[in-house]
């Protein structure tokens, strides 16, 4: 599901939607607020809901069958955990604080 575009239910260009002359001040104020309220509601209720990771589609990638960003991130996370646990990559099957502090720290002063 892609993010849905904003579509107003009324148009300022339509005389039926917004008459050129309105005697009732309350109606004038309501008319002025109408499209702003629709924009607010779109952002708060639709756009924010649509941008959750589970609602953002992803293109197919070889080796991954994820349909959305949430599934893709979970799949990558699972793949990383498998790599970390695979003794071919990390012989002791762990990446702890000690390993990070000794083996992977780069002395920036040598560059």
pLDDT on residue 87? 65
pLDDT score of 33 = 92
Burial level of 38, CB count in 10 A (0-12/13-18/19+)?
Answer: middle
In this prediction, residue 111 carries a pLDDT of 46
Q: Is the pTM of this model over 0.75?
A: no
Q: Per-residue pLDDT for the chain (111 aa), expressed as one digit of tens each? A: 556 788 889 998 898 988 888 889 998 899 889 999 999 888 888 777 767 777 777 888 888 888 888 888 888 888 888 877 766 666 555 565 555 555 555 566 554
Residue in this structure with the two tokens 């599901």, named with its chain if needed: 1
pLDDT for the residue 37 = 92
| φ and ψ at residue 68, rounded to 5 degrees | -145, 170
Q: What is the DSSP string of the chain?
A: -PPPPP--SS-TT-TTTS-S----HHHHHHHHHHHHHHHHHIIIIIIHHHTSGGGSB---BTTB--SBHHHHHHHHHHHHHHHHH-TTT-TTS---HHHHHHHS---GGG-
């Amino acid at each position: 599901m892609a993010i849905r575009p904003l579509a107003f239910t009324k148009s300022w260009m339509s005389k039926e939607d917004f008459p050129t002359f309105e005697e009732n001040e309350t109606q004038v104020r309501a008319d002025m607020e109408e499209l702003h309220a629709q924009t607010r509601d779109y952002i708060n209720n639709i756009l924010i809901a649509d941008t959750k990771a589970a609602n953002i589609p992803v293109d197919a990638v070889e080796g991954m069958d994820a349909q959305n960003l949430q599934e893709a991130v979970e799949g990558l996370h699972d793949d990383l955990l498998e790599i970390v646990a695979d003794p071919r990559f990390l012989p002791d099957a762990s990446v702890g604080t000690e390993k990070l502090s000794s083996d992977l720290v780069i002395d920036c002063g040598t560059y």
